[in-house]
Amino acid sequence: MKKIVLSLAVIATLTLASCGNKNADKATTTTEQEVAVEQGDKYSVNLTESNVTWKVGHKGGVNPRYGTLTLKAGDIAIDANGLNAGSYTIDMNSIKVDRASVSADEDIAKLEGHLKSADFFNVEANSTVDFKITNVEDFDAAKHTSKIEGANKVVSGNLTILGKTVNITFPAKVTVENGKAVMDAAFVADRTEWGLVFGTTDKDSGAALNPADWAISQDMEIGIHLVADKVTE
């Protein structure tokens, strides 16, 4: 199955985020899980219509940075119960910073370069971020909450960043109609779980810093708008 490469300046976005996280759900994480087996029809991700956004708190959330990432490839599987499997990959070289998130005199190219450097996503050695679905269950309002309007599924998947895989779970809204499937989600995760520790440890000793001293939030926020078209023989 193809992977969807989501360039992570975001994470990036794999993936970063949080300056209040008013419109994103807090994701839960665990160890790597077995990837789900495809059931039903295959849908190929539409790279033109799909997009990934990222956001990360900066200077205590006063000046959050945000931008976009590009999907490189991916597909999902849909059966009578809806979404059940799939994968996508993020092209980390596609990291973009939104001009509106930085001051007029700040060098965007320099910031994007820093995100691609070994301080963050080390794009030269890790050019992609991968997500592989491990489980999908129906959203139950009695036990689940979400800031995503119309959330109807809870998706779990192995998210690999910097070569490290962590299983992550978040609510999503998934619709399937007229041969087109759409998934929308926005979640917050702790970037240090994937080894993204820049700004949270002392550069010289490696010792953990007091959260009050972090210039960059430990949380990252990722937004996903995934559109896929049914594959016909």
All domains of the chain in start order, with CATH = 23-228 (2.40.128.110)
Q: Which amino acid is at 96?
A: K
Tell me how far apart the alpha carbons of residues 126 and 93 are, in angstroms, rounded to a whole number.
10
Q: Is 147 strand, coil or helix? A: coil
The number of angstroms, rounded, from the C-alpha of 129 to the middle of its chain's C-alpha atoms is 9
The strand pairing partners of 177, in sequence order, are 180
Per-position pLDDT tens, the chain of length 233: 444 333 223 333 333 333 345 689 999 999 999 999 999 999 999 999 999 999 987 655 567 889 999 999 999 999 999 999 999 999 999 999 999 988 888 899 999 999 999 989 999 999 999 999 999 999 999 999 999 999 999 999 999 999 999 999 999 999 999 999 999 999 999 998 998 887 665 565 666 655 555 567 788 999 999 999 999 87
Tell me how far apart the alpha carbons of residues 57 and 128 are, in angstroms, rounded to a whole number.
23
Query: Could you tell me the end-to-end alpha-carbon distance of the chain, in angstroms, rounded to an integer?
Result: 16
Structural contact between residues 115 and 9, judged by C-beta atoms closer than 8 angstroms: yes
Structural contact between residues 136 and 84, judged by C-beta atoms closer than 8 angstroms: yes
